[in-house]
Chains A and B, each alone.
Chain A
Amino acid sequence: MSDRAFLSLENLTLSYGSSIAVDKFNLDIRKGELVAFLGPSGCGKTTTMRSIAGLLTPTSGRITLDGTDITRVSANKRNVGLVFQSYALFPHLTVLENVAFGLRLKRMPAADIEARVTAGLKSVGLSAFSGRKPAELSGGQQQRVALARSMVMEPKVLLLDEPLSNLDARLRVEMRAELQRVQKETGVTMIFVTHDQAEALSLADRIVVMREGLIEQIGTPEEIYNNPVSSFVADFVGFENVFALKEGKLATPAGAVALHETLPRNAAGFAWRPAGVALDTGPFKGRVKSVSFTGNLREYLLDTPLGPITAEVSAALPVHELGTELSFDLPLKAAAPLQRFA
């Protein structure tokens, strides 16, 4: 049972006129899994999420939830929860009435509603705020009301639209912990949409990287972070130095450049994180164009014949002034081989 897909999207396609927002999307999600849809705006992640919720009707393809085809089931009968980026609380209702809204529509006995709402508000730490209106709450509190409002419905899937992006740094950490706790306690299947790689890496069990309506890569945070399959994913997860490979050499503005190590020919390209670039050693030369201090590390942007190179070294090392010529190397052991370029 646990191996079988709980939510499965088969060849899901959504198009608006001639433009295709999501193109033959295939994904199986296990029960209790926490999945992130990651990508820049316009990549189709929100469209996919909204079609799971039933707010958009797919042009073609199939959505199956818990063994039932829900492709044509209307949004109010799917039992899929959605925490909106704007929270979408009902401003004329109190916190308690907001959380009770769905249960009242179900015509559940008043005592059961009260028990569930009380438990729901308690679990997000807002019992003391039940009589307040949404406008009297902070953004973080509003989001927790929205979370409670969805969770008291005991949804089969909980969708979250950019759950951390409206919060400041401290609240982000809190909300991340909150979501992980809710997920652990209830075992609900969660999908969240984000454009922030750090958010996806820190929260998800599995990440689906999307680009222009297509899935670019699916993997665990470790896989995505360490082994990006394409230059797009590499760029998205912080590989600042990305090169295509042509006949065993790196394609650069200065033409094909060979490394002193032999590059495997089966890769389409190679990518290095700033920390993977070795400074003050190696065959290449570059001039310091900018320096920025980031705490433990110092980041150099170098102007080189290979194009701009970003390198990161310990901030404890002596600082190189602007305009200084430095030697550097791109060691193969720090490189991520890419299966696809562009």
Chain B
Amino acid sequence: MNRTLSFSILTALIVFLIGPFLIIVAASLSAGDTLAFPPQGLSLRWIVKVFTVESFRDSFIMSMILAVGGTFVALLLGVPAAYALSRYKLPFGEAVSTVVTLPIIVPGIIVGLALLRYLVVPFSFSIGVALFLAHTALVLPYTVRVVSSSFNNLRSDMEEAAVLLGATRLGAFFMVVLPNIRAGILAAFILGFVTSFNQVPVSLFLSGPGVRTLPIDMLSYMETTYDPSVAALSALLALMSIGIVFLAERFLGFSRYV
């Protein structure tokens, strides 16, 4: 009885989580001209078409630059921040922790609007730079949180041992600390990459000529063209994310860090 109930709940949950993905994949394999489910016939023409749409290519590159570059900068800022927060009793440590996590709490719409209204418009700030800053800020909380947990799991006496063997504090960090939190940094990178890549609300406000992320480009494409190529692109992106997370789990035990 109990077993049947939990089994049905689990099934419902899986259908709910994976269902949309399967529908998108099916729709993308359609031979018809409009986005429809069930698909009309089977073909790979929409998947092929994705690669020929020029704006998709440009916005994919833009999204990649933001996701890889923004996450990289967020790590450059986040790793030292996480180190300081977990190793030292800082005077405003709690406050800093909270401020760092704010971008997760504040709705993206507000962040995007604020950046546009108070950074881009009054200072004629480049939209591309504003977008990069926004994505970096958005990813920063994840890097700090994930890397902090790595630091907390790493005993500080290891660094002291390295110092007593002749290393400088900085040397000890690079020789002893960094190699042991590599998995945490990679996990933070993947989480940040996926977060940035799938980000919509902030990017929505920070789009302009030649500056457009892939999700925003897909939205505007759908406004004019209702063919299955968007479904094909979604399916490809989902596969990319699944691939990355699968590899991370396989080699790093990703789920320990998130």
User: Which residues of A does B touch, CB under 8 Å?
Assistant: 53-55, 75-78, 80-82, 84, 86, 88-92, 101-102, 105-106, 146, 149-150, 153
Contact = CB atoms under 8 A, between A and B. Distances in A.
A149 B158 CA distance: 13
A92 B163 CA distance: 17
B161 A88 contact: yes
Interface string B149-182: 0000001011011111111100100001001100
A102 B166 contact: yes
A105 B167 CA distance: 7
Contact of B164 (A75, A90, A91, A92): A75
B165 A105 contact: yes
Given A86-B155, A90-B176, A92-B179, A153 B161 contact: no
A86 B157 contact: yes
B160 A84 contact: yes
Interface residues of B, number: 16
A82 B161 contact: yes
A198 to B, nearest CB: 25
B167 A90 contact: no
Contacts of A90: 158, 161-162, 176, 180
Contacts of B161: 82, 84, 88-90, 146, 149
Contacts of A53: 160, 164
B98 to A, nearest CB: 26
Query: Most chain-A Cβ atoms within 10 A of its Cβ — which of B163, B164, B166?
Result: B164
Given A75-B163, A78-B164, A150-B164, 14 more contacts: A55-B160, A75-B164, A76-B163, A76-B164, A84-B161, A86-B155, A89-B158, A90-B162, A91-B180, A101-B162, A102-B165, A102-B166, A105-B167, A106-B166
B166 A105 contact: yes
A77 B169 CA distance: 12
A76 B180 contact: no
Interface in B101-157: 155, 157
B181 to A, nearest CB: 10
Contacts of A54: 164
Interface in B161-216: 161-168, 171, 176, 179-180
B164 A81 contact: yes
B182 to A, nearest CB: 8
B256 to A, nearest CB: 15
The 9 lowest CB-CB distance pairs between A and B, nearest first, are A102-B165, A88-B161, A88-B157, A105-B166, A92-B179, A84-B157, A88-B158, A76-B163, A75-B163
A54 B163 CA distance: 10
A55 B160 CA distance: 7
Contacts of A89: 158, 161
A258 B245 CA distance: 81
Contact of A88 (B155, B168, B179): B155
16 contacts: A53-B164, A55-B160, A55-B164, A75-B163, A75-B164, A76-B164, A81-B164, A82-B161, A84-B157, A88-B155, A88-B160, A89-B161, A90-B176, A101-B165, A102-B165, A105-B165
B164 A82 contact: yes
B180 A92 contact: yes
Nearest to B169: A76
Nearest to B161: A88
B215 to A, nearest CB: 38
A75 B180 CA distance: 23
Contacts of A78: 164
A81 B163 CA distance: 10
B212 to A, nearest CB: 42
Given A90-B176, A91-B180, A153 B165 contact: yes
A148 to B, nearest CB: 12
A89 B179 CA distance: 13
Contacts of B167: 76, 105
B103 to A, nearest CB: 32
